[in-house]
Amino acid sequence: MLSSTHAWLSVLLLHFMETGILAKGKFNVLYLIADDLRPALGCYSDPVVKSPNIDQLASKSTVFFNAWAQQAVCGPSRTSFLTSRRPDTTKLYDFKSYWRVSAGNYTTLPQYFKTNGYTTLSVGKVFHPGIASNHTDDYPYSWSVPPYHPPSFSYEKRKVCKDKDGTLHSNLLCPVNVSEMPLGTLPDLENTAEAIKLLKSMRDTETPFFLAVGFYKPHIPFRIPQEYLKLYPIENMTLAPDPEVPKKLPDVAYNPWMDIRKREDVQALNISFPYGPIPKDFQLRIRQHYFASVSYVDAQVGKILQALDDLGLSENTIVVFTSDHGWSLGEHGEWAKYSNFDVATRVPLIVYGPGVTSPLPRPGEKTFSFVDVFESTQEQFGKGYEMRSMVELVDVFPTLAALAGLPLPRRCPSPSFKVQLCTEGYNLVRMLGRREWVTNHQAFAFSQYPRPSDTIQENSDLPDLADIRVMGYSVRSDIYRYTVWVGFDPVHFQANLTDIHAGELYVLTDDPGQDHNIFDEFTHGRVLLKLGIQPGWTESLKQHLIYFREEFKSKWTL
């Protein structure tokens, strides 16, 4: 059955390559997306994680150190960056609506490339599956052929984790012998093989391609080849530097990590709701397995980049590596995502542009390679171009369009529900190949997160749209993170910025871990009264931060 399906896809793909509009001279795009990956990578100065393949890519790329997701959960984030619209525009805060029905018929990033003559291909988790992408991963709008999903993913949540006594469980921690797995493989191994197969099929065609590869890890469960744990001996693991719940953290801001609690090995710990904590020895094991999962993804990235080299495609293919959001590893007593903290919203964003971030070889010169051996270390690589300016995942769409030489989508008006093609992000091409701050770029990044109540509930992590009563709008600058939790009407998708339920203000020069909330030290009502309510929440929060900076600059070292 699988072989006949693949044969049909191959015929269909050949049809698109032969009859589609040719876009000669345009760059290909390889868009690599990890799931739940914070910037735990060597190229982001992480002292623990071993990620030589991504680090090697970074050495020839621009590495955005301050890149931020718009909502720290998979479905809303992916819909946001693939449409270049914020969650309030896509009207998606959970997994249970399709933006073309609930918000507007927005053009997606791959759809834009497809309409400009590209063959667009999807492997693994790119759009969030299910209702959020119309149960088709937005095919046929976004993709030239139906997206590929690895057959072994159907076993991801089943009882396949072997305990010491040989019994099988549905665990959080799940290192496995791959040969013993159903189908004898794992989803990301299948994704990698399919991506390489598609690259080979596109090598000798004149039609440029847009290939998106969505890895499933380091998303839970940590079902990974057991050999990757050897890279992280448990005796070398340490706890998060701030494993306690901050004393002044509002209840509405806390994420009770319910998806972790549902796993059998975690349930056996009998952890109290909502604050826990998880026993320290198990915390260390979670961190060990997360880091091992990152190295597992890194190895898959290496295989794909090696294939890109071997096929002679490196010199005319733009490569982007990123994630949908971050993941808490015990900071603030939290695990998983589901918050506005940096650990949940900050993501890696690495962009390689041929001839832009790395010079192309002259005629007769040896072609460079993306990939060295796995045992290589970050110290052996250059650091590429480190860009510290604030950027957002909604910026990826216009940036890739500009880098590929396509017309730049216009900035969205407000509101933009009836506008099919526009962007709420910015074109970052002028930042590529530079090492300094870009001072005239926007100095802020925005995220948001919904809650069902001011108090902590079992659905606080991921409330359905109908249950959302509070929205946490957050703005991040180089000095502050400021979040205001306000009333929200889920019927009209309307926030009331004057109905303040709680707030957070962290001064990062003194408190980089965001552990000391000083919001209550100031009369937020007076701030709002002074500023008034601006036409949009992003503008309002920017004005609040500007006010704090000017009004209280004598209090802190700025």
Residues serving a catalytic function are 74, 128
| Assigned token pair, 188 | 């990301």
Q: Report the alpha-carbon distance of residue 401 to residue 407 in Å, rounded.
A: 7
| Assigned token pair, 139 | 């095919």
Q: Is residue 64 within a helix (H) or strand (E), and if so which, with residue range?
A: strand 62-68
| 194 closest CA partner among 239, 147, 237 | 147
Q: Report the alpha-carbon distance of residue 301 to residue 317 in Å, rounded.
A: 15
How would you classify the pairing of strands 445-451 and 161-162?
Answer: unpaired
Contact between 78 and 324 under an 8 Å Cβ cutoff? The reply is yes
What sign does the dihedral 174-304-322-20 (CA atoms) show? negative
Range 158-183 burial, b when 16+ CB lie within 10 A, else e: eebbbeeeeeebbbbbbbbebeebee
| Assigned token pair, 378 | 């970050």
| 12 closest CA partner among 192, 187, 143, 196 | 143
Q: Which amino acid is at 380?
A: Q
Strands (E), 330-479: 335-336, 346-352, 385-392, 445-451, 470-476
Q: Is residue 283 within a helix (H) or strand (E), and if so which, with residue range?
A: helix 280-310
Contact between 45 and 293 under an 8 Å Cβ cutoff? The reply is no
Distances (CA, A) of 58 to 102, 320, 357, 399: 38, 10, 10, 17
Strands (E), 189-332: 209-214, 222-225, 317-323, 328-329
- Residue 30 pairs with which residues in a beta bridge? 211, 319
